[in-house]
Amino acid sequence: MTGSKSVAPLVLTEQAMLDQASQATATIAVGNVGVTDDALSARVTISSLTGHKFPSGVGFRRAFVAFTVLDQNGETLWESGRTNAAGVLVDEGGTPLEGELWWKDDCSGYAKPGERPHQPHYQEISRQDQAQIYQELVSTPPDSPEPICNAAVEPAGELTTSFLSICSEVKDNRIMPKGSLALDDRREIARALGADDELAVDVGATGVGDDPDYVSGGGDSLVYRIPLADLPAGKRPASVQASLYYQATPPFYLQDRFCTAKGDDPERLKFLVGHLNVDGTQVDGWKLAVVSSGSVAVP
């Protein structure tokens, strides 16, 4: 309201967003670091500071963990959650991870039709082509005359980023807020509000197996167990580090929009993405660093 006589509003807003991400979103820590004759292991724990699922908002937003093993010179020996310059999660050879790109390069069809490829929710990671991604993934209706779509339906269609095409949930391992209620308690509240069980089911998690972190919420922890044989020959691990990153617009979302949407809107989006230079910014590499554990020594 004060214009140029006060702090520049865009600068103030940008800094407020960065402060929110780094100070009031989550913490990440590395513990139980140890080495046996054949493996290096460590437990990574993310604690949520939010009162809702993280990440929140539109379903295609995602967060992921980068876990790095370093030598005494700070050189990377092993990494889960590495990305290329476009923000695509890749393995040690630069190949996109399973589920990072849904379509063939020319958009002529799904890369793996009918398979709904994605990174599952992990409780243990041991390879560089595995990454812990916190996200919601949904699928289209099955190919049937009268498909049934709700929170309890098993996925049968293809993965989609179109809100109008959502039929069922494939994965939702977004970190739950602390104090999350059990399903039976959610059902009781839903019925008291005059809603059905679908509301109670929908606010929970999907595809997390028996992970105890999703019972009462508040965070997530997983173990990284790296075979020493997978490290470069003659290199000794000196430290490890875990970082939490956020992507408001992941590469798979852009690819799906460009391959499926028609008209002026996707063309406008393609123009904006193609002309946006993020080099040297807080989202260099198309990812925002939320928080890091810092370097933790390997005993």
pLDDT of residue 128: 98
* Backbone torsions φ then ψ of 38, nearest 5 degrees: -130, 0
pLDDT band for position 202 (50/70/90)?
confident
Q: Is residue 123 pLDDT above 70, yes or no?
A: yes
Pairing of strands 133-134, 62-70: antiparallel
Q: Is residue 4 pLDDT above 80, yes or no?
A: no
Mean pLDDT, rounded, for 41-51: 97
Please name the residues in contact with 213: beta carbons below 8 A apart, sequence gap of 6 or more.
Answer: 219, 220, 221
Specify the pTM.
0.94
Query: What percent of the chain is predicted at pLDDT more than 90?
Result: 87
pLDDT of residue 199: 85
What are the tokens at 234? 């003659």
Please name the residues in contact with 47: beta carbons below 8 A apart, sequence gap of 6 or more.
Answer: 26, 27, 28, 29, 218, 219
CA distance 77 to 71: 7
Maximum CA extent, the chain = 65
Entry field: residues in the chain: 299
pLDDT band for position 3 (50/70/90)?
low
pLDDT band for position 9 (50/70/90)?
confident
List the domain boundaries for the chain. Answer: 3-135+217-297
List pLDDT tens digits, range 135-186: 999 999 998 888 999 888 899 999 999 999 999 999 999 999 999 999 999 9
List pLDDT tens digits, range 214-273: 998 999 999 999 999 999 999 999 999 999 999 999 999 999 999 999 899 999 999 999
Q: Which DSSP helix (H) or strand (E) runs through 191?
A: helix 183-192
HSE at residue 274, side-chain half, CA atoms within 13 A, is 8
CA distance 31 to 199: 37
pLDDT of residue 6: 73
User: Per the omega criterion (within 30 degrees of 0), is the bond before 117 cis?
Assistant: no
